Amino acid sequence: MGYPYAAMLKLFPAAKRFDGLEPVSLGDLGLKEREHLQECICNSSEAFFGELEEDLLILGTEVTPSDVVGDRIDILALDPDGTSVIIELKRGTNKWQLSQALTYAAMISKWGVADEFLGRTTTAKREAINSFIRVETAELNRSQRVIMVAEAYDYEVLVTAQWLNEAYDVDIACYQIALARDGNDDALYVSCTQIYPPQELSELARLRRSAKSTAGPARKDLEAMLSRSGAEVTQFFRDRLKQKARTDSRDSALGACPRNADFR
């Protein structure tokens, strides 16, 4: 199979030992991205996003980002800060996954709040959005994030994600999904490991997003976390903040989810 599977072990406390579980791929099991993985996520989104340590509200699946293209976003979600989250799923590995996700994010960035966002939703979904977000509805879709889920990643994808994040502040997260089977009862187990960014930097990024909507207290929380971080991580993040401040200054000078039922 060739995928760098995350290790999963079975613990036997009485015997004080571990047993390895048999790694399997989605392809081995005949499972597909949309028919199986996408539906599993939608049917148990709280459990799945909890595994990713994310708090997200699914807006819809197979969402068309623009009338001029035929492609569709696997899952479009929203985080509590009103940020649109493009979730792209891949069985195996695909070096075009990031390019595809970034294209969708660019198209979503053109959406207006009243027409494309709220105008496409049902009344029930709009109520769910209002209850979920901690910002005003006018703040919806001010920024976009990308979450990729795949069984493996090509080097080109990860190095490009890192470059885009560090040089241009593009919010990208890569998770490796791994499956294992218990040979005794054929039970299946799933894990999602964050490949990029490193977990410590990811936590700092969450605080950084909060700082955008609550500049005062969130900034103090950010500084407190930086003071507890290692010197290398602290310097890395301070550099990113300085770079973003320069970019902001320059920019201001220039000026339950049945397919497409809740979100069209």
3-state secondary structure 11-41: EECCCCEEEECEEECCCCCCCCHHHHHHHHH
Over residues 26-40, mean pLDDT = 91
pLDDT digits (tens, 9 = 90+) for 206-222: 666 666 555 444 455 55
Structure tokens at 101: 């996700």
Q: How confident is the model at residue 234 (pLDDT cuts 50, 70, 90)?
A: low
For residue 121, what pLDDT is reported? 84
User: Which of 185, 149, 151, 175 is closest to 21 using CA atoms?
Assistant: 185
* Cis ω for the linkage preceding 197 (within 30 of 0): yes
Mean pLDDT, the chain, integer: 81
| Three-class secondary structure of residue 193 per DSSP | strand
Q: What is the pLDDT of residues 120-143, one digit of tens each?
A: 888 899 999 999 999 999 999 999
The whole-number pLDDT of residue 7 equals 64
Domains and CATH numbers, the chain: 9-196 (3.40.1350.10), 198-253 (no CATH)
**Position 39 confidence tier, pLDDT thresholds 50, 70, 90:** very high
Average pLDDT of 88-97?
A: 90
Give tens-digit pLDDT for 97-119: 999 999 999 999 999 887 778 88
